[in-house]
Structure 1
Amino acid sequence: MSKPFEMELFLAGVMTGSHATRQRHLRQAKAIQAAISERWYRENPWTWQQKHLAWFLEYKLKSSKKPTRYYYLLSAKLIARRLGKSWEL
């Protein structure tokens, strides 16, 4: 039995800002992880590709308001930075 992926440890090195901002990024990263895991069965962000984050931002947030999409975009960019990728999202 494998352990669940710890998103908090994954993002710990790149998260900055206030406690509330860090909590928001963490909450949104977990939502992104859950959606990608459900759709592509990829639990671990190290296995994600650009298309996975782009899919989440385009299709899962389609009916969300602009500020919500913007904040999720910031969290997705944080994940990409942690992965060491220069993806244009």
Structure 2
Amino acid sequence: MVVPPHKTAVCSAAGDTQRDHHIQVIAQQGRLAWQKITGYNLRNYAELAVQRYKRIFGNTMKARALPQQKTEVWISVSALNRMTNLGMPASVKV
């Protein structure tokens, strides 16, 4: 799991931890480049997909048994993918 360091983070005395490496990369290349290098932006896409799923279909499943839950999720995700492929709404400031 990659957690972005705070904007005011400084390297530790040892200077050889993963966090220190992240701080150095951010200082040299910038935060957006660091996100692409570490794949942090993909985490955002996954969180957004789960948020959409829960907003449309709810937090709980209707089925009780596992095989029916798998089918319910498969149908829900298929519907969500179809809606996403049709296009996201274009918001325009009026």
State the TM-score, normalized to the length of structure 1.
Answer: 0.36
Rg larger in 1 or in 2? 2
State the TM-score, normalized to the length of structure 2.
Answer: 0.34
Identify which of structures 1 and 2 has the higher relative contact order when contacts are C-alpha pairs closer than 8 Å and 6+ apart. 1
